[in-house]
Chain A
Amino acid sequence: MSWIVLLGFLLGIVMGLTFKVPLPPIYGRYLGIAILAALDSVVGGIRSLYEKNFNERLFIAGFFTNSLLATFITFLGDRVGVDLALAAIVAFGVRMFQNLTLIRRYIFQSRRWE
């Protein structure tokens, strides 16, 4: 499982370095929010792995819906003149730290450091 993740990630980095995507800078914000949402999904997935209730389908679905929703919220916020990206940043940020806390706890428990 983990080698799939690492291989995929490295492959993606190599592809990103190889192919030049002409992304207009104005969309950099949206991409950033989408990456944040994706990272939140990844951290959430790691947590569920430790809790032994990791569901691949749920993870895949969560990955895409989180990213798309976050991007859409940001887009909507820009349309209506409210910085809704902040909502996504705060929500994902807080949850990521909560999940990281739990992951840390599971790792410590599994190694009997506590």
Chain B
Amino acid sequence: MSFLERQLEDPVRFARLKRWFYIGLAVVVLVEIVLPRLFHADHAHFPFENFPAWGALYGFVSCVAIIVVSKLIGKWWLMRPEDHYGDPDEDRDD
């Protein structure tokens, strides 16, 4: 069993992995809020970029928005069964 397999298949180790992921998220948010304030050397192009943890916030919102909106458009309109244009493995002459 490889290292990766052990981490993913053992429930205890997988739970630990998950915990590290959440800790990582918290660290990233903290870093994004604190470091620019400590060094405030960069200039932002837009005022909204100065919102605390703007990257994390916008990333999360974008991700959810993309999934929800795309799935809605897909369900209502775009997604079709695979043989929508006819079965590709059959002759289309009728």
Do chains A and B stick together as partners? no
